[in-house]
Chains A and B, each alone.
Chain A
Amino acid sequence: MHEVGENKLSKIALYLFLFVSAILSIFPFYWMFVVGSNTTSAINKFPPAVVPGPNFIANSIEVFNRIAFFQALANSIIISAVVTISVLFFCSLAGFAFSKLQFKGRDGFFIFVIATMMIPPQLSLIPNFMIMTNLGWVDDLKAVIVPAMVNAFGVFWMRQYISSSVPYELIEAARIDGCGNFRIFLNIVLPAVRPGLATLGIFTFMMTWNDFLWPLVVLKDSSVHTLQIALRTLNDVYNTDYSLILTGTFLATLPILLVFLLFSRQFISGLTEGAVK
């Protein structure tokens, strides 16, 4: 079988291209560790420091002393995990309905969903905060979890993914076998769109994990801080200690990488098993 890079030269070119892309992508992340393991003045040197220094452990301990890191970690895990599971379920369900079921007003509803993505989010802070104070959800993780349980981005993505990778014949066949719509969704659609779900899972987890605009408005007590909010309290208004901040940020990023690795195995399995069609 022929593939891209069937001759040696183009293979080398391909690896080179991917390798350069990888280096460019990783460098700022790596540099986060470099600064986190040095002192702040390392940033200002010209040329700046590019090798890790000896202070990472000391900086980590300082981070743990300054903020309730593990408490915030637990809050972040709760929020991101619940939101991710819920988004995966509800968005793929809606995406399935929008792509494979016939009902009146379907396309209109779908366009409405997309239109909601176009609303600039910056102005919703105040009205949403009003809703939360009325519900009594301020300083409660619910205030972050519940509004995020299904989103337009996920619905749109799952609809597109299901329409591109689940053929109608498959669904018709299941219908003839007497499957109800929900059974079809669970037994036919979900297994067929695993790479799509994995992608949605990764991005939802990451976005929820990194979000701070909304959480910082509703989660003020340090007992409900997420990692991103707790890390922001390392910003002294007068003196910014970058090595401390980047150490904290580096530590806070590791869980996302773990989740990425877990989910991205779905990509491999999709490939080795061959496509579902």
Chain B
Amino acid sequence: MGKKLLLLLTGIVLMFFLVACSEDDANSENESGNNELTLWAWPGFGLGELAEEYEEETGVHINIQEADYGDVHQNLITALASGSGAPDISAVDEGYLDRMKENQDQFHNLFDLGGEELEGVYLDSKWEQATNADQDFLIGVPTDVGPMVMAYREDIFEEAGLPTDPEEVAAEIDSWESYVEAGRQVMDETGKYMINRTSDLYLAILEQSEEQYFTPDEEFIGMESDQNLRAWDIASSAGDISINLERDTAEWGTALADDQIATVLLPPWMLQNVKNAAPDSAGKWNVTFMPEGSGNFGGSFLTIPKQSDQPQEAYDFASWVMAPEQQLRIFKNSGPFPSTPEVYDDPAIQELEDDFVNNNNLGQIYAEAAKEIVAGYKGTMHDPVSELFQDGLISIEDNDTPPEEAWDNVIDEVDRQLNR
């Protein structure tokens, strides 16, 4: 038996080696033309069809190598650190962008490749993210954007005695204080929760401000910044209206399906997650503006690492595929929301409808929210610091930690991490 097994396995191995070798040959033929660009992205960009069209028109083949969202970034960092192995074009999410901008010598400056022409095409907030403070370095071509709006359950609002018409809701809940107040009303009248977690409330408030944790000189101002103090105060006292579940987890989905959560602060893409989680709540949702403006959740950039030896070709493709017309096509193929305001008047956006929500102005609300996004200064340590503040708030919800104690813990840990 053992020998037979060994023989069998050896046979399989040999067979596949032959197959693998012949495939290698096929690949090298492909590459010999040198009209090929490698592009790293994660699923959901919807570039495939456009890349084929681009090849037909220009003869340049785009080899799209997809990997998981986190994997693309880890791979890019690994390749940049090792000095080789990076692609011609790589998508970089906004969460990683500041880290890349700090090391801008690892990337081609798109201003050297014709990037000036892109100014004014994209939302101001996207453009601010893509350029450095001196406005002389453009790290990537903006892709999509995730304008935040507020989805709410009409049935729960009605039961709580709140208005249900989007405009009336926006008028009634026009500040974060009134949002919390409405949340208490929901809790008192229906026993249901306004939001999934106070840390998400905190982030939504914080990100509406230009000033967040750091000044452009990388000075930490989290202890003085009005917006941060206000966001913390509101969120840390809102534990009674939060069910304390992490967004986009299975339990969050269960709570939505169980009709326990009255509002979801959401970018356009998250609507699909709500649908998946709670298909039976179709038609009970409506959408209006978030209090005090908008916010952004998601969206990325196409960068060109220094290691690419075809930067001009790479730029030409990246700027073409993220031009307004193409972004609109991506959106129409049920892709992410465009970051180019000139297409917001297109019927595809103006007349966007969805049976899931009772609102015929869905696309207009998204577009309006997109224009209101504020690109606050983040800096390289923003994400770790932000996580500490969020954990602080969750610890209040989890264990009834006194807010003052939680705040002190956060400040201590921030201090330690910044001074290392």
Classify A-B as touching or not with yes or no (CB < 8 A): yes
Question: Quick check: A74 and B16 within 8 Å, CB to CB?
Answer: yes
A237-B79 contact given A44-B277, A84-B9, CB 8 Å threshold:
no
Among A78, A85, A223, the residue within 8 A (CB) of B27 is A223
Segment touching B, from A101-109, A153-161, A227-235? A227-235
Per the bound structure, the CA–CA distance linking A130 and B66 in Å amounts to 22
Instruction: Return the CB mask of B38-66 against A: 1 if under 8 Å, else 0.
Output: 00101110000000000000000001011
Question: Quick check: A238 and B336 within 8 Å, CB to CB?
Answer: yes
A233-B84 contact given A223-B23, A238-B336, A269-B1, CB 8 Å threshold:
no
Question: Quick check: A41 and B82 within 8 Å, CB to CB?
Answer: no
Among A41, A46, A130, A239, the residue within 8 A (CB) of B269 is A239
Q: Return chain B residues, CB-CB under 8 Å to A171.
A: none
Interface check B171, CB cutoff 8 A: no
Interface check A206, CB cutoff 8 A: no
Measured CB to CB, the closest approach of chain B to A96, in angstroms, equals 17
Q: Return chain A residues, CB-CB under 8 Å to B270.
A: 238
Q: Return chain B residues, CB-CB under 8 Å to A43.
A: 250, 253
Question: Quick check: A233 and B43 within 8 Å, CB to CB?
Answer: yes
Q: Return chain A residues, CB-CB under 8 Å to B40.
A: 220
Interface check B409, CB cutoff 8 A: no
Question: Quick check: B276 and A41 within 8 Å, CB to CB?
Answer: yes
Interface check A183, CB cutoff 8 A: no
- What count of chain B residues pass the 8 Å CB interface test? 52
Q: Return chain B residues, CB-CB under 8 Å to A184.
A: none
Q: Return chain B residues, CB-CB under 8 Å to A236.
A: 42-44
Determine chain B's interface SS by DSSP, over half rule: helix
Interface check A141, CB cutoff 8 A: yes
Question: Quick check: A44 and B67 within 8 Å, CB to CB?
Answer: no
Question: Quick check: B71 and A133 within 8 Å, CB to CB?
Answer: no
B interface residue numbers (CB < 8 A to A)? 1-2, 5-6, 9-10, 12-13, 16-17, 19-20, 23, 27, 40, 42-44, 63, 65-69, 71, 74-75, 78-79, 81-85, 93, 248, 250, 253-254, 256-258, 269-270, 272-273, 276-279, 298, 336
A interface residue numbers (CB < 8 A to B)? 39-41, 43-46, 74-75, 77-78, 81-82, 84-85, 125-126, 129-130, 133, 138, 141, 194, 197, 216-217, 220-223, 229, 232-241, 262-263, 265-266, 269
Contacts A/B (CB < 8 Å), 18 sampled: A41-B276, A41-B278, A44-B253, A74-B16, A74-B20, A81-B9, A125-B74, A126-B81, A129-B85, A133-B83, A138-B85, A216-B74, A222-B66, A229-B67, A236-B43, A236-B44, A239-B269, A266-B1
